Structure 1
Amino acid sequence: MNLEITKALKALLSEPQKIVIIPHKNPDGDAIGSTLGLWHYLRGIGQEAQIIVPNDFPKFLKWMPSSDQIINFEWDTTKAKALIKQATVIFTLDFNHLGRIGQLQPLLEEAQAKFVMIDHHQAPADYAEITYSDVSMSSTCEMVYNVIEGLEGTDHITPDLAISLYTGIMTDTGSFKYASTTSRTHKVVAQLIEKGAKNTKAHNKVYDTNTPSRLHLLGCALKNMVIMEDFATAYITLSQEELDTYQYKKGDTEGFVNYGLTLDGIVFAVIFIENKEEGIIKISFRSEGDFSVNEFARAHFNGGGHTNAAGGRSELPMAETVALFKSLLANYKDHLKA
């Protein structure tokens, strides 16, 4: 975080503000961890702050300290609208385009508050007065730590704040195995553990609280996996019927796409998940090496993200979506090399 951003944030927070913190729709560990981490810090320095999520988040994140204070826009729309209207500052975390927040988009477009963006995805929009964007960062949680450090606020890092940021870094780095995990990331994590983050607790709560139905759904997903050796690609499909059969709950498919990359010789892994309620096929892309799934998702599936992790969507039926995907691979064969 550069000196200009630091000075701007110090000036902004030198006076009492009414602050709203918002992550992207379908918030993941980094989104919830970063918003909670920032919320704990802002409250700790005497600021008035609230977190509003566009929709619900997975059960395996609801153990996080003060997660019960998060306002769900879909469940408490009137209160959320009032808070956004009254806000003097709105922090947007872990996304960089207002199209990522669903029904909240028009409310934020009309809001009179000053906007602060903290995000590590590619191609940020320019809606914020203060933009801290860095695609080299492991996670938005690491960036929130940098903000706190830049504001000389590390003395305000409580165990609750520390474990919030630790959890987001842990999940967004694939338990510290992705290429975005740097020596700096490990130094930040070490500081968070020293501040009271119980790392074993975070791992257990996120990864070791499976239900039988989720494991059966994983079995279904792996059975559906198709391996295309000529393109070093593996993809999984999950229909709405299959999700219903295994009592799908939000977050149950988290991480399924990564199983494709555990196969020797596979550099591109994809999962297609039908969502009949929204009328779309939700798609997650993962890759190893230099193949940019961000560019692939942006070019073909109305999405984007990082070089090695991105999301997208299709309004075609499942069979047509998969057929389109397979037809595109020939154009990338030279780039898909193990």
Structure 2
Amino acid sequence: MQDINSFKKLLEEPKRIVIVPHVNPDADALGSSLGMASVLKKKGHEVTVISPTDYPSFLHWMKGNDEVIVYNQGNEQKADKIIEETDIIFCLDFCSLNRTDKMEQPLRQAKATKVLIDHHHGKEDFADFEYWDNKSAATCELIYQLVVDMGERQLLDKHTAEALYAGIMTDTGSFRHPNTTKHVHEVVAALIGLGADVSKVSKLVYDNNSLNRLKFIGFALSERLEVLTEFNTAYFAISADDLSNFSSRTGDTEGLVNYALSIGGITMAAIIIERDDAVKLSFRSVGDFAVNELAAKHFEGGGHKNAAGGISRIGMKETVDKFLNLLPEYKKQLHTNQKKQEIYLT
């Protein structure tokens, strides 16, 4: 935060506050939003969390979930009015307003003070206050640190601690990714000290599948997984019909790309999904291969070095062909990176 004292002064008197996560919120986006909402409510503020879209049902356990307004579920006019009249807007787990889908213009036009709290690359200069660190593992990690920096750790309770833990757990890949630092473990230890039941949170997030989702994963692994050893790449191409055949719900494709990345010898994994409005892509990598650069250059996307996303508006087949045609350009990097990983693991 550029000036923590000015930020604290901004929150001294009760305000109307809106908190917004990115489109298709994950555990870090929703956990940071509901965690921050809880803290601000305890300070006497009127807080509304507005999500651009819905999110997986395995996140509905978080306290405050039942009060979230989902913008694209017929709540546009109501939400726009709240945004127009609010005093402060918190933008959490994204750093460019285009990550809020149809909420982008109402947010840009809002006269409210804007607060950015995030850890992604590609930051847009739109906020009045920023608490941004692209070396942090998760926005939930930043929320905890901000509350501590404000001297208000006493406002954190068990429910908030569990929401923040969920975001850190998922964004570190259950503490397996390179972004798992000493500070991450210190924050997690503090959250456990506040009462977070880590076993419960893990089960709610990872062991809360529908039968259709398990059948879909089985289908995807057996019928849609392609492995291109020449390019150290594996990918899934999931059509709209595939999703329909398994009555897919929001979140059912979550984590599927990691199965492809887990294959020995794979440097980059991707999942390409045909949605109603566009084709969505998600990329994962190991080592020094930067999928955020690939996503930004070719698919209007971005993210972290080893985890990024993008979008394509040219149709499913054309998108798959475009992705495949890019691989020769990256062949040397993909192969060199895999060799480095082999040395690292020996």
What range describes the TM-score normalised by the shorter chain of this pair?
over 0.9
In 1, Cα distance between the equivalents of 2:330 and 2:317? 21
Q: 1:324 aligns with which of 313, 319, 322?
A: 322
The residue aligned with 2:63 is 65
2:122–2:302 Cα contact (<8 Å) kept: no
In 2, Cα distance between the equivalents of 1:146 and 1:251? 28
The one-letter code matched in structure 1 to 2:113 is K
- The structural deviation recorded for 1:78 is 3.1
1:231–1:333 Cα contact (<8 Å) kept: yes
Q: 1:47 aligns with which of 45, 48, 57?
A: 45
The one-letter code matched in structure 1 to 2:254 is E
In 2, Cα distance between the equivalents of 1:36 and 1:248? 26
- The structural deviation recorded for 1:41 is 0.6
In 2, Cα distance between the equivalents of 1:241 and 1:149? 48
In 2, Cα distance between the equivalents of 1:314 and 1:162? 37
Q: What are structure 2's unaligned runs of at least 5 residues?
A: 339-346
The one-letter code matched in structure 1 to 2:50 is I
The residue aligned with 1:174 is 173
The residue aligned with 1:137 is 136
The residue aligned with 2:235 is 235
1:8–1:130 Cα contact (<8 Å) kept: no
The one-letter code matched in structure 2 to 1:47 is H
In 2, Cα distance between the equivalents of 1:226 and 1:293? 18
Structure 1 stretches of 4+ with a deviation exceeding 4 A read: none
1:209 aligns with 2:224: no
The residue aligned with 1:307 is 305
- The structural deviation recorded for 1:221 is 1.4
In 2, Cα distance between the equivalents of 1:54 and 1:317? 24
In 1, Cα distance between the equivalents of 2:145 and 2:20? 19
Alignment of 1:93-172 (within 5 A): 93-172=92-171
In 2, Cα distance between the equivalents of 1:179 and 1:263? 18
The residue aligned with 1:22 is 20
The residue aligned with 2:288 is 290
In 2, Cα distance between the equivalents of 1:5 and 1:193? 29
In 1, Cα distance between the equivalents of 2:20 and 2:78? 14
In 2, Cα distance between the equivalents of 1:17 and 1:236? 46
* Percent identity over paired residues: 43
1:22–1:92 Cα contact (<8 Å) kept: yes
The residue aligned with 1:91 is 90
The residue aligned with 2:265 is 265
Deviation digits for residues 127-179 of structure 1 (CA, Å, limit 9, x no counterpart):
10111211111000001011101001111111111111011111111111111
In 1, Cα distance between the equivalents of 2:82 and 2:309? 30
The one-letter code matched in structure 2 to 1:183 is K
In 2, Cα distance between the equivalents of 1:70 and 1:144? 19
In 2, Cα distance between the equivalents of 1:81 and 1:330? 46
Q: CA RMSD in A?
A: 1.1
Which range moved further: 214-223 or 135-144?
Answer: 214-223
2:14–2:43 Cα contact (<8 Å) kept: no
- The structural deviation recorded for 1:331 is 1.1
In 1, Cα distance between the equivalents of 2:48 and 2:317? 42
In 2, Cα distance between the equivalents of 1:216 and 1:314? 27
